[in-house]
Structure 1
Amino acid sequence: MAVRGKLVLVCILGVLICSCNLFMVSEAVWLNLPASGTKCVSEEIHNNVVVLVDYVVVSDNHSHIPSISVKVTSPYGNNLHLKENVTHGQFAFTTHEAGNYLACFWVDGHVQGSGDVSVNIDWKTGIAAKDWDSVARKEKIEGVELELRKLEGAVEAIHENLLYLKSREEELRSVSEVTNTRVALFSFMSLGVCIAVSALQVWHLKRYFQKKKLI
């Protein structure tokens, strides 16, 4: 019975670790930048989330790698990262505004006309952006204990996402209720105006016919 219990515990831990790894997958994006113009990637992120992004220009011609410019803005338009004339780089920040974060890439002016430029972007958020090697060294943990810490972080991230979705749902419900109230008031006002105009038209026609002695 003890052996069977240990096997069940190991299986449960294996499932939990696999689930944790699913939540820790980072998002890799390939962009083909035209010689002129800008391409952007964006993600809707809630408040107080760590974001870590690595980007690198990939070129078949290793003797000449074209340079690009990068600009990252917050939902309110604040500049979080701006680099020009680079072939690779990294930026990291903690979100202070909930909304759509935008990262735009374009080819530098002096290399335009050389065709499309490929850029690889490794976008990590939340627990995927956390340096677990440093955590393991600092807290002197490894193996299953480290995986359990990752799982704990994944559960916290899921809980925060659920709270964010709940708050967004409440905001949308509030906006919907306000909109419905305004539509109802506008409908009553429109009905009142129509009734008033109709009554005024009847009164005007009645006076007109009385003056003409038609009634």
Structure 2
Amino acid sequence: MKFQSAILCAAGLISLASGIRFDIPSLPKGEGASRCISQWIPKDTPVKVDADTTQIGSNQVLIANIFDDSAFNNKYAHHNSLTTQKFSFITQAHANVIVCIDNVLDPGVQKSNQYSTVKLHMESGQSASDFQKMVVENELNPIEAELRRLESNLEDVQDFLNYLKTSEAKLRSMNEVANTRVSMFSLMTIAVLVSIAVSQVLYLRRFFHAKKLI
């Protein structure tokens, strides 16, 4: 049952297209919060991000940053004065790929009702590949094309499952190390307490002998 759940989860993540539309007010630098979308994407997966903006008011600068939340904090794109832009890249780690937009008001301009409407569309895996071009170049019939697409998706699912297994192994190893350290610390604590108790007994025995109480 857990394996089936993992398959369904992976299938939902692979070749997924994320799209969103939002308004972001234009504020002086440092005052506004970034608007972001994210999607978990396996390593070595093609990704396409389409950005389209409409400005309401002037003196605005839209800034786009694309990165992941892996330990390496990979940076995939940075763009100032965003209007309409397409980004393409290959992921470098199993991680959440994050697209953030900032709307910064030009220096010296008073903030009022300026804002921009932003449309973001992110595709990964097979949906980001030029699948139709491959079909035409290889003269594939519909069944062969579907088999190619499923094969690619299965490879992505396998990568995702391998990532889950690797993560589980790392967490299990960390847990075992932590348990070992806790056990050693407990044994050391017991040994110290026993040593203190024995030393106290010997001290009291010598004390009572010196006082000729026993």
TM bracket, shorter-chain basis: 0.7 to 0.9
How far apart are 1:82 and its partner, in Å?
0.7
User: What does 1:177-192 align with in structure 2 at a 5 Å threshold?
Assistant: 177-192=176-191
Residues 57-82 of structure 1: CA deviation (Å, up to 9, x unaligned):
245x4x86954101122421342211
Q: Which of 41, 49, 53 is matched with 1:57 structurally?
A: 53
* Aligned match of 1:33: 24
- Alpha-carbon separation, structure 2, partners of 1:208 and 1:109: 81
Report if aligned partners of 1:57, 1:67 keep a CA contact under 8 Å in 2: no
Q: Which amino acid aligns with 1:186?
A: F
Residues 36-88 of structure 1: CA deviation (Å, up to 9, x unaligned):
122333333332222211122245x4x86954101122421342211111123
Report if aligned partners of 1:85, 1:108 keep a CA contact under 8 Å in 2: no
Query: Which runs of structure 1 show a deviation greater than 6 angstroms over 4 or more consecutive aligned residues?
Result: none
* Aligned match of 1:144: 143
Aligned length: 194
Change (3 A) 1:21 1:48: closer
Over the matched positions of the two proteins, sequence identity in percent amounts to 28
Please give the secondary structure, in 2, of the residue aligned with 1:82.
Answer: strand
**Which ranges in structure 2 are unaligned for 5 or more consecutive residues?**
1-10
Higher helix share: 1
Q: Which amino acid aligns with 2:93?
A: E
Q: Which amino acid aligns with 2:165?
A: K
Report if aligned partners of 1:72, 1:103 keep a CA contact under 8 Å in 2: yes
* Aligned match of 1:77: 73
* Aligned match of 1:89: 85
Residues 92-139 of structure 1: CA deviation (Å, up to 9, x unaligned):
211222334333221123178335544222121111211112212221
- Alpha-carbon separation, structure 1, partners of 2:182 and 2:19: 44
2:101 pairs with 1:105: yes
Please give the secondary structure, in 1, of the residue aligned with 2:80.
Answer: strand
- Alpha-carbon separation, structure 1, partners of 2:139 and 2:48: 24
Report if aligned partners of 1:47, 1:96 keep a CA contact under 8 Å in 2: yes
**Which ranges in structure 1 are unaligned for 5 or more consecutive residues?**
1-19
Residues 136-190 of structure 1: CA deviation (Å, up to 9, x unaligned):
2221235333223222222222222222222222222222222222222222122
CA RMSD of aligned residues (A): 3.1
- Alpha-carbon separation, structure 2, partners of 1:67 and 1:99: 29
- Alpha-carbon separation, structure 1, partners of 2:62 and 2:207: 78
How far apart are 1:193 and its partner, in Å?
2.0
Query: TM-score, normalised on structure 2?
Result: 0.74
Change (3 A) 1:116 1:210: farther
Please give the secondary structure, in 1, of the residue aligned with 2:38.
Answer: strand
Change (3 A) 1:177 1:147: same
Report if aligned partners of 1:29, 1:121 keep a CA contact under 8 Å in 2: yes
Q: Which amino acid aligns with 1:87?
A: T
Report if aligned partners of 2:65, 2:99 keep a CA contact under 8 Å in 1: yes
Q: Which amino acid aligns with 1:72?
A: I
* Aligned match of 1:47: 43
